[in-house]
Structure 1
């Protein structure tokens, strides 16, 4: 059975003005996608306006849109601006009062305030529409009720014109399998004739319950294996750029993105200036001997006397009356002024050897930039190469509006880890532990890219330590970057803690990429739900951690910092392989050294690509992007093959 097509509409005056305030819309999209049964075709944010709501719903429910299910979030309470139920009710052709009752019943089990909700459900032509509350917590509870026993799937198949038989059989199998799992986990079995039949609902929290014994943990990951391209699309669709802030113009601006157009406030240069070192004079002056004055002996605002030339340095303003500049090389020293010690101290007379036309070596006012010229556009990246920061300084801008750059907190998880600088060795079975490679490597990479880093340290394999560390990271930073604890071990606690202790949403928990299959991307509500913080949990193996950092985390940091979408990922170029490379059923990022040769870019493998072999990244400046292996086609790219590679460092010359 094909996936159901869903569109999600967030109704909120606040989120319509600042999309980063929308938490519920992304949560709905993530939960539906994670289930593997739905494709979110569109997601929009509009204000609490009845006509606007109806306009979007009409378009999505038209036969041309082919949307199976429309979900709205927000505007269902008793607020003055809450108009979603009224807007939707007037469009519904068949009301689904049973679904409304289910939503209210499920919510009332959590809080009596659910009685103030006004959900609406029904069909418009061949599209089901359900209105949900605006809070993330209520949205998750509502979806748990709707998705738990595939009630909504059954409804959607019937609306499509199906019999519902397939889903009914799936539901029976689902109930039976989960009944057995439930009984096994709780250590009891009932006879075949028992009437005490328990069918747990499909949870929206997918992680295992770490409070149970290790024997109850998942043996197969509950997280969908997300294709690489889909994972990147999730990151860019769920995350929103951070708020704007004023920044002083200076070296610290590198890596920021302009949030305003910058216009030159004045002409540059303001007055006539020289482009060379030499002497300012009149174009009517003939070759000959002239007395020399300087800025110390002559006010440039005063007219330059006849028979006198004005010594001037590059960029200096011409004195009044001068209209051309002769270079030092075209003059000869004639006489000097001697000091009290009898040594030559200053020029007195100079002979000019050539005659110059009007305006020679002179920059006119506004010849570089005229007042009012647009010198930098909103959205431009202020690179570390200095050109943009130099331009801002050149036109006299001392302060500019920018998109705030994210700060990053880092931590490593694992009782086996030892801090190199503060070693506390593990004395067990003659084993001293493993030095934590990931934090120093990631901090170096982050700071090299211009991000402020807060190091939380090594976190032990217990829930209390995880909760404390994540809470600290959420307080100190915009993005929390962790390594380890993302796989299937009994002590892998990150996913459970994210979901169960911080009400976080895991958008993907596994990726179809090598290395980095357990890479996890999540968002967590913070500051009372007013903000959303980002979390990336990377694999613990050092090479995997660094590769996934460059592939997933750097694009996310740039996107949060306002970088244009096309610039967020590292650039890709075509390279020629100098070593054969075997393909995998996943997209693979093979560590290489890329060198510039007379015959183009050549990629040299760094050797064994085992995830724990961090030495394979020493000197690596690129990642060859190996495509997924296709059945029936060669499983090796031979030497000389042309492939795409991601540039993550400076190119080398052969």
Structure 2
């Protein structure tokens, strides 16, 4: 039986919760192992503090009741991660081979595992090994250790091993003592290989190898052409919502998706309240003249004296003993008196109507009953105020929501100049072109409520691409690049993703116009807890109109999916519109930029003019795309004026005000 202690290292409450999951995951894996058996004695959590880590590990090792100490967390690049530093103070013998094995096993999954800082060694007769703080990464590393047999063999050597046994374990090619027989060299591959995926590098890349020169580039795209629907389904199947956070109910909340069911903690109203401005009284009181009291002159919990009514405002609670409210409009002022403030105050009022029991009263719970669900998981907090008002109505100051993604944007191309800096590219005497895509995408993203990281213009250079893309996925949840995704000699986006960053290109061409070379990929990334996450990356066409159209068609659904939107609401809505002019068809399905208006006969769509992919002006004033089918085999070449077509709404619909 191998006795194990687990030490989870964490600082914040969210990290502590993750560490608890990590410790339990490690315990579950050990419990399911065949011979030899592992017994987890306890799971303890300590802050990411060197002294706390040292004290816990030393106490366990000193007790001599523990064979193996596993720590989880605190091995990342963050300044607060101190587990390796703590262990370096107390390890009597380091185990660099185990460290190398942990790194190589993790790097087989993602190159970014090189950012981990594992530690391993021996204190007395106790083995100490660190694992990442992410449950997924910890399970992968632990699985590799167990399946390779390294841990069991290391513990055997710690207990009663010898130098000769170590040499035999290493498979040294030498003669055994007292024997003339040659020992055959063992394979460098362990007998029990950890079941981890291989790195996705150039071996499986479809993109050309830019190091081979222009002549080696593809003459035909190696990426299969897929349909628009298949592309959307692929995006939504690869992306998962981001983490859940708690946010204040304030002006920053709109645009978030609620991640919990929200229930009313009590009846609203708690007690009977007035539904109008007027006077609270007893429904048995006849019409006539009454003295007037107010909340300033009569305690709410005391019954009204005879021949008295209580002035009340809409929404205010009723005083004890009253069961109806008469409207101000059904009374007449009889007399006044001077209040201490010097103002004239009502003294006597005549009621001119008989009111029924509970008339003009909101009963307890009539708006919301205690426990009633007022908002549910998946509801979008809109900018109209309804959801904010509902949360405030039931007394919620904070609510659980899905985190909205941060978006990094970059443009590629030596020919581009930055309009903000005013510096033009004048290489070769040509002034180049202003980068249109970053300003337009940033405006669109910020208009939709997303935070943007602007990575600037990236030259046509492999290292520049690699460094900027890596910087983008480190700072943001999704990266959007424009240009460099087609068949040009300097199109480096796909090669860098596949060959340098271990990314997977899920599609590299889509049968749409504009935007055929649109690319969607995911790149493995090591998070702060040592877990591997796949970050989505989009390569949009460089032509300005194509970039914006494909942004709305492909990127926005991905951003919504990351933000927790229900799958069926991630894409923009579609409506039927009446065409105001003929629209020609193309061999590929086309998304024609239009201006959609509301008129007395319904929604109409007018073309924004020339649809050339470089003409960004075709999107000025556009609030939708008419979905044109591909050129039919029957020879039909256009949709005609007055015909009904399907359109995607991407902006606010304007229209006439219809007065009757």
Point out where structure 2 has 5 or more consecutive residues left out of the alignment. 1-24, 30-105, 111-134, 150-186
Whether the 8 Å contact between 2:330 and 2:351 is mirrored in structure 1 is yes
Match of 1:253 in 2: 253
CA pair 114-545 structure 1, distance change in 2 beyond 3 A: farther
**SS of match in other structure, 1:253:** coil
**Per-residue CA distance 1:326-349 (angstroms, 9 max, x = gap):** 22222233333447897x443333
Q: CA deviation at 1:606?
A: 0.8
Whether the 8 Å contact between 2:597 and 2:654 is mirrored in structure 1 is yes
Q: CA deviation at 1:604?
A: 0.8
Q: CA deviation at 1:637?
A: 1.4
Whether the 8 Å contact between 1:74 and 1:134 is mirrored in structure 2 is no
Q: How many residues align?
A: 487
Match of 1:335 in 2: 335
- Counterpart CA distance in 1 for 2:434 and 2:336 is 71
Whether the 8 Å contact between 2:148 and 2:192 is mirrored in structure 1 is no
Match of 1:598 in 2: 600
Q: CA deviation at 1:118?
A: 5.1
- Counterpart CA distance in 1 for 2:366 and 2:353 is 26
Match of 1:494 in 2: 493
Match of 2:197 in 1: 135
**SS of match in other structure, 2:209:** coil
Q: Select between 329-338 and 644-653 the one with higher mean Cα deviation.
A: 329-338
Whether the 8 Å contact between 1:269 and 1:369 is mirrored in structure 2 is yes
**Per-residue CA distance 1:382-405 (angstroms, 9 max, x = gap):** 233332332222122222322222
Whether the 8 Å contact between 1:245 and 1:403 is mirrored in structure 2 is yes
- Counterpart CA distance in 2 for 1:249 and 1:497 is 42
Give yes or no for the alignment of 1:516 onto 2:578.
no
CA pair 116-478 structure 1, distance change in 2 beyond 3 A: farther
**SS of match in other structure, 1:226:** coil
**Per-residue CA distance 1:584-613 (angstroms, 9 max, x = gap):** 121110011112222222111111101111
TM-score of the superposed pair, with normalisation by structure 2 = 0.68
**SS of match in other structure, 2:559:** helix
- Counterpart CA distance in 2 for 1:470 and 1:356 is 73
Match of 2:442 in 1: 443
Whether the 8 Å contact between 2:458 and 2:464 is mirrored in structure 1 is yes
**Per-residue CA distance 1:412-438 (angstroms, 9 max, x = gap):** 222332333321123345543322222
Q: CA deviation at 1:113?
A: 7.1
Match of 2:41 in 1: none
Aligned positions of 1:465-544 closer than 5 A: 465-527=464-526, 530-544=532-546
Match of 1:306 in 2: 306
Match of 1:319 in 2: 319
- Counterpart CA distance in 1 for 2:418 and 2:291 is 72
- Counterpart CA distance in 2 for 1:630 and 1:74 is 55
**Per-residue CA distance 1:78-102 (angstroms, 9 max, x = gap):** 74699xxxxxxxxxxxxxxxxxxxx
Aligned positions of 1:248-647 closer than 5 A: 248-338=248-338, 344-428=343-427, 431-527=430-526, 530-647=532-649
- Counterpart CA distance in 2 for 1:81 and 1:258 is 44
- Counterpart CA distance in 2 for 1:341 and 1:560 is 59
Whether the 8 Å contact between 1:76 and 1:117 is mirrored in structure 2 is no
Match of 2:73 in 1: none
Match of 1:237 in 2: 237
Q: Select between 505-514 and 285-294 the one with higher mean Cα deviation.
A: 285-294
**SS of match in other structure, 1:485:** coil
Whether the 8 Å contact between 2:541 and 2:547 is mirrored in structure 1 is yes
**SS of match in other structure, 1:231:** helix
TM-score of the superposed pair, with normalisation by structure 1 = 0.69
CA pair 278-417 structure 1, distance change in 2 beyond 3 A: farther
